[in-house]
Structure 1
Amino acid sequence: MDPAFFEQPILNSPYEYPSRHWELDESGKPTNKIESKRREVAFISAIPTVKKRSGGQREIVFHEAAQALETETQQYDLTGLISGIRQRVDRWRELPDPNSWHVTPETARLLHHWRSHRFGDIRPFFCQVEAVETAIWLTEVAPSLGKEGRRFLDQIEAASEGANPGLARLALKLATGAGKTTVMAMIIAWQTINAVRRPGSSRFTRGFLVVTPGVTIRDRLRVLQPNDPDSYY
């Protein structure tokens, strides 16, 4: 295999929109061809699609698990849903006039800060800002777009209702090391500031429940407490 990919596997700055990527073949291996665009949404598994365990049970990858939940009335087109939301968020991000963002003045100030502030040392990664932008778009922007926004919200609500009736869920997926704790802090700040300014709004809250897989992770997340000496705020 040509060593070009291994000599420079990372093509994009973590602080900028990912405008290039290495093309992969059908087996998920690099072809050593650089595509001048963002990689399209896809579920790439590190294991073969068909793999049997010792007991003969087939291992199911993420997109297959979603397909297994489909019914005649509910379809789970995960890549289509994610791609559609990503494209709308991309177009929304490019709007130069904050008055066209369809967000509260407080949210607009936060977005401007995260996107444009000259941070002295540590600054948010693009993926962190994009994750919060997506949550903001679905919460504040999509409801004001009529049928275009409602289409995405209906799919998310139907999936949540089908999996856990009465519990609305929205997942933001980031790679290991991308800084998910920072994203949590950004979301808490966005929600809290708006909730204080708009106590009667059902879109914002000042109460947060953080669930962790163990005590060690819980202790690491103490930085989400405003009164912690190392608070992220």
Structure 2
Amino acid sequence: MREPTDDRRLRAGTLIRLPDEADAVIVVDAVPTADGIAVHVRDGRTAHDSKTRTVHLSRSEFDLLEFASSPDSNADSAADPISNPVLNRPHEEPTRHWYIHDDDHVSTGQIIHGRRLSTAAVVMPKMRSSQMRLQVGADPSLQNVLVNRIRDEVARWRRAGYPGASTATRQLIAHWHDETHEPRLFFAQVEAVETLIYLTEADAGRTPALADIRHELSQANDEYNVGIERLAVRMATGTGKTAVMGMVIAWHALNAAATRRRDSRWTTSFLAIAPGHTVRERLAVLDPAHHDSIYPPARPSSRGRRRRTRRCEAAGAELPSIPAA
């Protein structure tokens, strides 16, 4: 009998068929248990449009698994991730990614359909013989399970039309998704703020997974910062972090104005911390009084928008204090 934890095929991205199930599922990760293995899987073949669940398998049940394919069999023909690394449009949710080999953590030049799962991996170029290849600096099989779960729930919440979000928030989201927006926002920027909104505004009664997610986040905050709950979005250099900061500020300030500061979820005081004078100067555009402010001027065509603008001004939003560390 095979040892479940020794089977190299049960890796993230592998398609399997579970006992008594007709449709294949995609493996997220697998954790050994005392009497078998716990497999976290997603329904379907895509990484973003499916629900994550945990299946507990005994050793005998593990032996009955049918491996529908390895990640390689769901890939496009070989390509070059160095000379042509970009697979997705920046304004749309990713639908493809480069496959990183399980054993040596080096790119294979194969394209996998579906969004890459969040992992504890840092991708970097590295010479291999006479060819340049991508290599990750950590085990790509180490999934950020909670991050992936939140990402899935946010996508589901988005498709449902943002239930529980305030009117001001819905109007902001519609503005951010506007394809005529100049400059047009990246998908990653909008998703980052949507995630914070989901965790703050979504109705746990209508989205059952949210209660569990909030509980896990609260436990994590208690572990590192007792009494101080913090949420962070992690974004790479060049992905538009300053714009995201402005989006978060606008989200809070407009909702605070709309509720006349009666809702403790919203604030009108903001603090931006910069690592030095150069970054501090770049963040000056977060001040609405700056000549290059990132906030668009209010359009006079909407009477409702003018009212919200006046309310925001009446709220006295303090935007922002920016010390240099």
TM range (shorter): 0.7 to 0.9
Name the amino acid aligned to 1:8: N
Aligned equivalent of 1:195, options 256, 263, 283 = 256
Q: CA deviation at 1:46?
A: 5.9
Aligned equivalent of 1:149, options 210, 223, 236 = 210
Instruction: Note if 1:33 corresponds to 2:110.
Output: yes
Aligned equivalent of 1:108, options 163, 170, 179 = 170
**Superposed CA offset, 1:191-229 (max 9, x none):** 100011111101111111111112221121010011111
Aligned equivalent of 1:138, options 192, 199, 214 = 199
Partner of 2:288: 226
Partner of 1:54: none
Counterpart secondary structure, 2:194: helix
Instruction: Note if 1:93 corresponds to 2:158.
Output: yes
Name the amino acid aligned to 2:107: P
Q: CA deviation at 1:13?
A: 0.7
Aligned equivalent of 1:182, options 243, 250, 253 = 243
Counterpart secondary structure, 2:110: strand
Contact 2:117 2:143 in 1 (8 A): no
Contact 1:28 1:44 in 2 (8 A): no
| Higher strand proportion | 2
User: Residues 46, 127 of structure 1: CA spacing in aligned structure 2 closer, same or farther, 3 A cutoff?
Assistant: closer
C-alpha distance in 1, partners of 2:84/2:197?
Answer: 34
Name the amino acid aligned to 2:264: S
Name the amino acid aligned to 1:157: S
Name the amino acid aligned to 2:190: V
C-alpha distance in 2, partners of 1:46/1:24?
Answer: 9
Partner of 2:97: 21
How is 1:160-171 mapped onto 2 (pairs within 5 angstroms)? 160-171=221-232
C-alpha distance in 2, partners of 1:196/1:108?
Answer: 15
| Higher helix proportion | 1
Counterpart secondary structure, 2:81: helix
Contact 1:132 1:183 in 2 (8 A): yes
Counterpart secondary structure, 1:6: coil
Larger radius of gyration between Structure 1 and Structure 2:
2
Which ranges of structure 1 fall in alignment gaps of 5 or more residues?
Answer: 48-60, 64-76
TM-score with structure 1 length normalisation?
0.80
**Superposed CA offset, 1:134-187 (max 9, x none):** 000000015444652111111111111211111111110011110100000000
C-alpha distance in 2, partners of 1:145/1:156?
Answer: 19
Count of residue pairs the alignment pairs up:
202
**Superposed CA offset, 1:26-50 (max 9, x none):** 3332111111100011111469xxx
Which ranges of structure 2 fall in alignment gaps of 5 or more residues?
Answer: 1-77, 125-136, 296-325
Counterpart secondary structure, 2:271: coil
C-alpha distance in 2, partners of 1:3/1:103?
Answer: 42
Contact 2:119 2:143 in 1 (8 A): no
User: Residues 4, 46 of structure 1: CA spacing in aligned structure 2 closer, same or farther, 3 A cutoff?
Assistant: closer
Counterpart secondary structure, 2:115: coil
Identity %: 37
